[in-house]
Amino acid sequence: MLTGVPLAGAERRLVSAPVPPLAVTVIGLALTAGWLLLAVTPEAALTVTGGPGPGLAALHLLTLGVLGMAVVLVVPQILPVVTMVPAPALPVLMPVHLGVAGGAVTLVTGFLSGDSLWMAAGATTVAGGLGLFCLLWARLLWQARHSGMGDLLLANSLALLCLLLIAALGVSLSLDYRTGFLSDSPLEHGALVWAHAILAVHGLMGLLVMGYSTVLIPMLAVAEPQGRRANRPLILLYAAGVLTAAFSAVISADVIGWLGWATALLAVGLFLRGMLTVLKRRLRRSLGPSFWLIRLSWGLWAAGLLAGAGARIGWLSPELAGALLLPGWLLTLLLGILQRIIPFLASMHSVRCCARPAPLPRFENRRQTAALSLAHAGAVLLLTAGIALSSPLLIRGAAGMGLLSGLLLLFFAAGVFTRLLSHRRAVGPRRPRPAPSSPAL
């Protein structure tokens, strides 16, 4: 089990077949819609921190419609496969996906229209879906407690804690636009926005990146993984740094904030050094377009953290730091991983639903993934340049490239799906095993 992932019998630990195509479709549509919104209102990328408007709407199309949906797809699928516990059933997963997707659309409509009722309704619906998700996530982690996957379980548990805080803060901030209740409280709206943003981008997403990279990077590069608890001190150090920074934002204590930021930066630096060492020891030499994006995302993670410091002292706009961290680091990594996970899941489902499994290369398409990767990298480059130079023209150019990347992701996923269906038509469905005949009495 070179890569550390127990694939034998993994087809028995897959989420129901409709879940991945539905989730990937929502991710592709939200990505395309987010870039389209930016193409129509390029100035929005320069005013994200200004409260409700197209900027905040585009931001939450990305953070909830793309990243949030990816979290509720990846966690219930990869965690059971890696820790060898059963995957959650469809009736449990569907309300989660509907709550997050439906709530995100409502919340984004509220941000776009400035209508506080839509914001409040959307926020509570998303939080409802995420709350249910946290319950099934906690159950999965409890079932997997003896799997030995120390780093993965630790990162998941801390990320779960962050998600609960993000949803609570997100709902409070949205309700504050409706009721203004924060103005009577000692907590300041702006301070809670920062705490929400830090916990979401660095807490939830950062910890998930650390936890799942320890499993997915060796698996995708065919490399010897690090020890299952090798990153424990770094994950704890990173979490301590992020939680300290978020807390300092709530109480507006700068020095503590810098301490938190420096701790998180150190942990990320050491973690990425470990990832580079894993890649050096890999068996698969040519890694393809997915690792163009994965490696680029590592650089953008470090650049985004440094730009965050620049924004804190007023040298850079928070929008520039946000662009390096969200469409930059997180979306780049997600598109790098998704272009490998989608064919992988299709080949696993072919084991479960076809008379004869289809080999993984049948679902891979290097030309499409190369085009997707280049379109996305171009979008990130133009977006950061456009924000740095306050140029709506460059931002519109970025949105055009981003739009192309969203459509290419949908096209790629549709191609994989139709190839799975045509393989099943060609070889026929998997016949249920005949029940063992009971011995003649």
Residues that bind ligand HEM (CB under 6 A): 48-49, 51, 56, 59-60, 63-64, 67-68, 107, 123, 126-127, 130, 166-167, 170-171, 173-174, 193, 196-197, 200-201, 205, 318
Q: Which two tokens stand for residue 207?
A: 């910890």
- Give the separation between CA 280 and CA 51, rounded to whole angstroms: 44
Residue 127: CB minimum distance to ligand HEM, A: 5
Residue 26: CB minimum distance to ligand HEM, A: 15
- Give the separation between CA 278 and CA 320, rounded to whole angstroms: 31
3-class secondary-structure state, position 214: helix
Q: Which two tokens stand for residue 427?
A: 């070889």
CA separation, residue 25 to residues 70, 119, 183, 375, 409 (Å) = 11, 24, 40, 19, 9
List, in order, residues 6 or more apart from 13 with CB less than 8 Å away.
Answer: 80, 81, 84, 85, 86, 87
Closer of 11 and 188 to ligand HEM (Cβ): 188
Residue 330: CB minimum distance to ligand HEM, A: 7
- Give the separation between CA 167 and CA 196, rounded to whole angstroms: 8
Closer of 234 and 249 to ligand HEM (Cβ): 249
Cα-atom radius of gyration of the chain, to the nearest Å?
22
Closer of 19 and 120 to ligand HEM (Cβ): 120
Residue among 319, 145, 331, 165 nearest 249 (CA): 165
Closer of 46 and 127 to ligand HEM (Cβ): 127
Q: Which residue is nearest to ligand HEM (CB)?
A: 170
Closer of 163 and 377 to ligand HEM (Cβ): 163
Closer of 199 and 403 to ligand HEM (Cβ): 199
Residue 128: CB minimum distance to ligand HEM, A: 9
Residue 101: CB minimum distance to ligand HEM, A: 12
Residue 88: CB minimum distance to ligand HEM, A: 20
